[in-house]
Structure 1
Amino acid sequence: MNIIIIEDELRTAKSLENIILSIRPDSKIIGQYQSIEGSVKALSQQDQPDLIFMDIQLADGLCFEIFKQVKISSPVVFCTAFDEYSLEAFKRNGVDYVLKPFSKDDIQSAFKKVDGLQNFFQQKIVPDIGNLLAKLSSPAGKESFLVFKSQKYTTVKTENIAFFYIHNDSSTIMCFDQQEFVLNQSLDQITALVSAKQFFRVNRQYLVNFKAIKEIEHYFLRKLFVRLVIETPDKLLINKEKTPAFLLWMEDR
């Protein structure tokens, strides 16, 4: 595996190189660069590496400037002392976001993610045409739910639902106008019925509509705190394992 390290702290770069070679002794560090200018020049003149380890704050600015000046197709592991750039990082080929000071276990975990990504695409080289056509012809998601309230049946359009959540052990609809309805289906069943592009299962208790999301904040222990346009009974937290998938879902518009 050919690897490039972009890191303006020489001691950190050397430490990272030693960790990488101890984990993957068959790998080759084909370049180390300390600046945006040097990285752009190198990446413009050579083949893309198999993997890039990249610090975010470089001597001459944020590393995201590199992506504006040269096309990068390689997966990137971002290494930084700051966690406020995670959303931007996952827009830029990011497969992992490692906070400094990093450990050997952190880098080992990053390699596992890279391996998983490569294995996935190797297995998908020959597409299943039948499955692909089935997905293309499948409905975008359930358009409404039949509910029973005040001794009457009615339907609730899915587009009017801000989120589904578990309340008193029952799946419950919360609409944007804050009307609530109880459903017989489990949250797992509901998740399978609605559009995966429109709704995201942020945790075991909540399935959230993209249109309901107001803002996202970093939270303790590398979690994300999601605030909706209407108040939720519980604080919506996404654990660090689910964060990359959530950010990619937010970006896929």
Structure 2
Amino acid sequence: MKILIIEDEVKTASALTRHLLAVRPDTIIAGTVQSVEEAVSWFGRKEPVDLIFMDIQLTDGTCFDIFKSVQVEAPVIFCTAYSEYTTQAFKNNGIDYILKPFTKADIENALLKVEHFSSFFQRTAQADTRLLDLLKSITGEKQGKTSFLVFQQHSYINLSTSEIKYFYKSAAGVFAVTDENHEYPVKEPLDEIQRLLAPQDFYRINRQYIIAFKAVREVQHYFDRRLTVTLVIKTPEKLIVGREKATAFLQWLGDR
């Protein structure tokens, strides 16, 4: 989980980071900002995060000034010494409200709440997807994009979806990878690719990777109830399925 911390007290931000890494060792701290101005600048760069821990009183105003200036898409856990802002907090992406001084148990309980909601909405989305697939099969609608237009060696070619082992996103862009690790840049963002693909053939295991069912060689248990996936070809990094997706991923593998 990628987390942004908005907190003007250095000691509090350090304690929050320490607790997060203690209860969720795989946490990635995307950044720590101390003011409204700095936060607005950070969100202006449109760097995606999964969750935000946010203090209310900052060095140059309240955190609610951030919401007036930019769009904040991620859910927020508010950490503050003040109890009178709860209503305003829950009107601004609030999913939990923790009073200072907080403990590691407070952080753990807040994260469990986030994961519970995430799991719920994921199950709902999967149910909607299964219903859509059923309707497509009844109406005879073609499922899944059959090819992607890619640019390779000064030419455009139609790359058959059946050849693709996985898609991945990096700082350089989005790529489709075929046998022998041939990579092709794809113009569509990963979210759009996920929508276009047949859900029974491809699965988005995390924010960076969409993998083909036929490319899966082995799945193993990993610590903290996560999974590691090995494909028939090498990948730039270890493929990890978070524990919030692990059960659904295994169901996808077995639903044949």
Q: TM-score, normalised by structure 2?
A: 0.49
Q: TM-score, normalised by structure 1?
A: 0.50
